Amino acid sequence: MTLLTLVRHGQTDWNLDRRIQGSTDIPLNETGRADARTAAAHLAGTTHHAIYTSPLLRARETAEIISAELGLGAPVLVPDIREREFGEGEGMLVSEYMEAYGGWHAEVPGAETLGDVADRALRALDAIARDSRRRSTPVAESVVVVAHGGVIRSLIDHVSGGTLPRVGDQIVNGSAHRFEASPGMLRLLDQTVLI
């Protein structure tokens, strides 16, 4: 078994503006760096053995801050936990996106579906869990994975059979979502808002 704590990256200026980032590589702002330090302080109460991250700058910088605070070594980049690609919707304000497309499940030219995101993220988490089990001591390995709101939302939706997150629930910057992974299985343990 592997314990996976997925942390959403810290705030960016586009988050603040409520602008869809998707695969656009936007850096953290100062609040985002503080979000990462707050997440690290919260995670310090639990033992973690490694840290993995999306290669996008906002996640990578969050992971580097957390790693430095917890002494975890360099974060391992995992391309398949990058944010959902929103195609023509990238760069739009959320209000513009909703007006143009009607909702998060709409078909948008060039965009991934939530199911597509969940599929690639599940494969990535399975690979992370397998990698950590190869290095594991007799106790469960615990790793931190810095990802994105769309990725975390798609995984929660998948493992809950579509019952979570509830309508209106937000995956806030700096929040942590703990999963348990074993061969062929991923289970949501808890969600914690760190800010």
Mean pLDDT split into 10-residue runs, the chain, 195 residues: 95 97 97 98 93 98 98 96 97 97 92 94 93 63 95 92 84 94 84 48
Edge to edge, the sheet with strand 141-147 lists 76-77, 50-53, 141-147, 2-8, 176-182, 185-192
The label of the residue with tokens 């790693």 reads 67
Cα separation, 122 vs 132, in Å, equals 15
The CA-based diameter of the chain, rounded to the nearest angstrom, is: 52
Cα separation, 87 vs 83, in Å, equals 12
Given CA atoms 87, 93, 94, 98 in this order, what sign does their dihedral have? negative
Active site residues: 9, 83
pTM for the full model?
0.93
